[in-house]
Amino acid sequence: MSGRPLESEGMMVHFRRHLWIWPLLFALLLAGFGWLTLRSLENTMQSQVRNELLTTRQAAVAALEIWRKESMASVAVIGADPRIVDSIRSLTELVRTRGENTDALRKAAAAKRLSSILDHFTHDGEFEAWGVITASGYMLASEDPDAVGSRPSEAPALLKLARKGKPIFTPPIQWHPKEDQGHSEIAMIAGVPIYDPEQQLIALLGFTIDPDGDFSRILNVAQPGETGETYAFDSDGVLVSRSRFEDQLRKIGLIDPDPNATSALSIQIRAPGGDLTRGYKPTSSPLARPLTKMAASAISGEDGIDVAGYRDYRGVKVVGSWAWVPQLQLGVVTEMSYSEAFAALSTVRTRLLILIALLGLGALGMFGYSFVVIRLQGEVAEVKQLGRYTIESKLGRGGMGTVYSARHALLRRPTAVKVLDSDGSNAEAIARFEREVQVSSSLSHPNTIEIYDYGYTPDGTFYYAMELLRGITIGKCVEDDGPQTEARAVYIMRQICGSLAEAHSMGLIHRDLKPSNIMLCEIGGMLDFVKVLDFGLVRQQRQKEDLALTQVNALTGTPLYMSPEAVDSPDDMDARSDVYQLGAILYSMLTGTDVFSGETPVEVLAKHIGEQPESPSQRLGRPISPKLEALVLQALAKKPEERPADAGALLDALERCPIQGQWGRNEAELWWTTWNEQHPDLIEEGTAPTGTLPSGWDVDLHRRIEEA
């Protein structure tokens, strides 16, 4: 029995001495199975591309259908209003008794009554304009008085649809509301038939919809990758939505070079015979060319998908998924360039060939590497590694992940590492986590948290490393120390504005500013040095983002600090929304309390929307600088246009406050000395950005509001 340990040890020594053989054998096996793997990968990638195209196209079609139904339901409700029906009947009776007298129609009391009702529906942005066409095609009334009396050339087709007895909805068309003046525009029309007491059709009440509005926004959201495009076309093979590539289309001559020219209703979905973007010159006119493979299939009523590749209207080889939507009388397609769709496959193929070519040289490298691996395995056996970072201790956790104190394996630099929780590692969480890293690392202001690195561990855990901060959040400072002096509050807020001013200048808005996302630190001997954290909810101003990350009309932020527009119209948030949150933070520092409080998130949000804040002086019970108080209340204005334009403008206003220069190094050193004596453990641990969640109100905000 005593010989077995020695025998086992000898076997291990033998194994380690010849460890280099195993990597080499593995490399040879990899070469042998390489081609089979490549073939399998091709099939897998084609399936993935097929699923992505199909899902994107189906989502766009579903969104368009929901929007169409909502628009038709709206006009149906409007057309059922007795006041509107009676007014239209009065005007048709006026035409019957006095003829098509344009002046009489414009001056009629019924026309004025009709305008007073219908103008509301166009001024609130749902529709562009309205008009009433008689059963004979005569413009009986219109939001534009000049259009009254005209006979739009599209009227017969619209009335034909109206005679079916249901609300109508058209794809984008050339609309001539004032045909006599030669005026035309691209519009979609939603309308409802109007009947006399005997249920005879007497008129069509129609509303025009700008295709560049919701119609285009729905299609523009579905643009996968750098070359992905979702667009719509009619039964003649004419593009009815705007192309993603309008600048390119101008260069290759498919649309007029005038910057105001649009691709909608200007592009034929026909194959030019070669790639126009690479200089191909077609020999036939656009109308003489055949429809693209996709357009011909869709117009014939077929749904299809092609990942083998075909030419689009620019002649670029693309993959695509298409369908004909009879309710809209449109074809909808999602396409992506073939080269982008299979870029990864091309890369893998190239790397496989390189791998085979370098197998001989690789054997020597593997020999040396095997011994390095043995040594490193021994070194890391007793500690947990995240990439190049050695975990030392846990600092805290938040809604998305946990923050640890760590050191770089080679540089030995103290670092904070944020790790996504394994039980929440879905695609949406990872995407938001990665975006926080990418956005934060694009900012260079010294008051913005600095990102060092990010990556995945071998088990798939996503993490990123950032500077390890020593200090406290503003929330903790106010909670323990109460209201801050005006001078200190302004000193801190100027640094916060400096960080946000850089983000705003790049078109970025934070959307989740709050005291727990602002740290007061001691850095390089500087006290009260501000760091702005957690850019996980940042987005580009006025840009539709991935629906999986930031859904249209979704609430994002923390109720205690959300601006009114963040609740009412999240899509309209801009830099002034951040300014509102900065005003709320400054209010908290000056008074030691939040602007509004309530039993539930819904109650707090309602106050942000409809209740004026109590002045800081009243809340504090003593006067503060009038200029500073006025600036706080201006930042908290309900209307964005009444606030400072961005963080830079707020910074300029703060620098003009006479109180701002009365806090400096000596004052900060005295405060921190007292604080360190009272809270030695808190500072010694080192506090990193943990995403601490005040009152738990920014965890699963949607669920909490629905339950409230």
Strand, coil or helix: what is 185?
A: strand
Answer left, alpha or beta for residue 194, where phi above 0 means left and psi between -120 and 50 means alpha. Answer: beta
- Topology match between the domains 80-210 and 211-341: yes
Residues sharing a CB contact under 8 Å with residue 302, sequence separation 6 or more, in sequence order = 324
* Comparison of pLDDT for 439 and 417, the residue scoring more: 417
For residues 566-581, average pLDDT:
90
**Per-residue model confidence (pLDDT) at position 369:** 66
In sequence order, which ranges of 592-622 are alpha helices (DSSP H)? Answer: 601-610, 616-620
Contact 208, 175 (CB under 8 A): yes
pLDDT of residue 20: 55
What pLDDT is stored for residue 5 in this prediction? 39
**Region 571-575 average pLDDT:** 89
pLDDT band at 18 (very low <50, low <70, confident <90, very high): low
Element (H, E) at 473: strand 471-473
Task: Give the residue carrying structure tokens 């957690």.
Answer: 534
CATH of domain 383-465: 3.30.200.20
Superfamily the domain 470-536+557-680 falls into: Transferase(Phosphotransferase) domain 1 (1.10.510.10)
C-beta separation of 56 from 182 below 8 A:
no
- Mean pLDDT computed over 466-483: 91
Name the burial class of residue 414, with classes exposed (0-12), middle (13-18) and buried (19+) by CB atoms within 10 angstroms of its CB: middle
CA distances to 74, 136, 151, 296 from 202, in Å: 20, 8, 15, 39
pLDDT tens-digit profile of 553-566? 445 568 899 999 98
Domain ranges of the chain: 80-210, 211-341, 383-465, 470-536+557-680
The 10s digit of each residue's pLDDT in 238-291 is: 999 999 999 999 999 999 888 888 888 889 999 999 999 999 999 888 888 999
Question: Measured over all CA atoms, what is the biggest interatomic distance in the chain, rounded to whole angstroms?
Answer: 122
**The two structure tokens encoding residue 608:** 């942000």
Count CB neighbours of 383 within 10 A.
10
What average pLDDT does this structure show over 432-447? 80
What are 653-662's pLDDT values in tens digits?
A: 999 988 856 8
Please compute the mean of the pLDDT values over residues 581-595 and round it to a whole number: 96
* pLDDT confidence of residue 544: 41
What is each CA distance from 605 to 160, 288, 569, 585, 695, in whole angstroms? 49, 60, 13, 16, 15
Max mean pLDDT among 134-143, 454-463, 698-707 falls in 134-143
Segment among 191-200, 487-496, 676-685 with least mean pLDDT: 676-685
Mean pLDDT of 515-537: 86
367 pLDDT tier (thresholds 50, 70, 90): low
Question: Which whole number is the average pLDDT over 179-192?
Answer: 79
The hierarchical CATH code for the domain 211-341 is 3.30.450.20
Q: Is the predicted pLDDT of residue 689 greater than 80, yes or no?
A: no
Q: How confident is the model at residue 692 (pLDDT cuts 50, 70, 90)?
A: very low
CA nearest neighbour of 135 among 159, 158, 152, 114: 159
- pLDDT band for position 91 (cuts 50, 70, 90): very high
Assign 708 a pLDDT band (cuts: 50, 70, 90). Answer: very low
Which residues sit opposite 463 in a β-bridge?
419, 455
Cβ contact 390:409 at 8 Å: yes
Give the pLDDT mean for 184-211: 93
Length of the chain: 708
Which percentage of the chain shows pLDDT scores above 90?
50
Backbone angles phi, psi at 11, to 5 degrees: -65, -40
pLDDT in tens, 284-321: 888 889 999 999 999 999 999 999 999 999 999 999 99
Separation in Å, CA 357 to CA 32, 133, 354: 13, 75, 5
Comparing 418 with 236, which gets the higher pLDDT? 236
HSE (CB half, 13 Å, CA atoms) of 39? 5
Quote the pLDDT of residue 261: 84
Residue 330: pLDDT over 60: yes
Q: What counts of helices (H) and strands (E) characterise the chain? A: 24, 21
Domain 80-210 of CATH type 3.30.450.20: yes
Residue whose C-alpha is closest to residue 654's, from 491, 517, 447: 491
Helix (H) or strand (E) holding 321: strand 317-325
What mean pLDDT is reported for the chain? 83
Question: pLDDT band at 569, cuts 50/70/90?
Answer: confident
The pLDDT-based confidence of 372 (bands split at 50, 70, 90) is low
For the segment 193-204, the average pLDDT, to the nearest whole number, is 94
CA distances from 93 to 84, 117, 539 (A): 14, 20, 55
550 — pLDDT class (breaks 50, 70, 90): very low
pTM above the 0.85 mark?
no
User: In this prediction, what percent of the chain has a pLDDT beyond 70?
Assistant: 81
pLDDT band for position 664 (cuts 50, 70, 90): confident
**Burial letters for 479-517: b for 16+ Cβ neighbours within 10 Å, e otherwise?**
eebebbbbbbbbbbbbbbbbbbbbbbeeebbbbbbbbbb
Nearest Cα to Cα of residue 397 among 374, 434, 423? 423
Residue-by-residue DSSP string for 370-408: HHHHHHHHHHHTTS-EETTEEEEEEEEE-SSEEEEEEEE
Look at the block and give the residue holding tokens 């591309």: 49
- How many Cβ atoms sit within 10 Å of the Cβ of residue 619? 16
CA quadruple 484, 489, 495, 501: dihedral sign? positive
DSSP alpha helix (H) spans, 516-561: none
Supply 607's token pair: 């106050």
In eight-state DSSP terms, residue 143 is S
Distance of CA 499 to the CA centre of its chain: 22
Q: How confident is residue 685, by pLDDT bands cut at 50, 70 and 90?
A: very low
pLDDT tens-digit readout, 504-516: 998 888 888 999 9
Rounded to the nearest angstrom, the gap between the alpha carbon of residue 8 and the centroid of all alpha carbons in its chain is: 60
**Per-residue model confidence (pLDDT) at position 642:** 96
Please give the backbone phi and psi of residue 679, each rounded to the nearest 5 degrees, phi first: -135, 60
Q: Which residues contact 495 (CB under 8 A, 6 or more apart)?
A: 447, 529, 530
Cβ-contact 626, 574 below 8 angstroms? no
pLDDT of residue 360: 60
Which sign, positive or negative, has the C-alpha torsion 281, 287, 292, 293?
Answer: negative
HSE (side-chain half, CA atoms, 13 Å) at 602: 7
Looking up tokens 């195993």 gives 22
Q: What is the pLDDT of residues 381-401, one digit of tens each?
A: 434 677 788 888 888 776 567
Task: Please write the tens of the pLDDT for every residue from 159-176.
Answer: 999 999 999 999 999 888
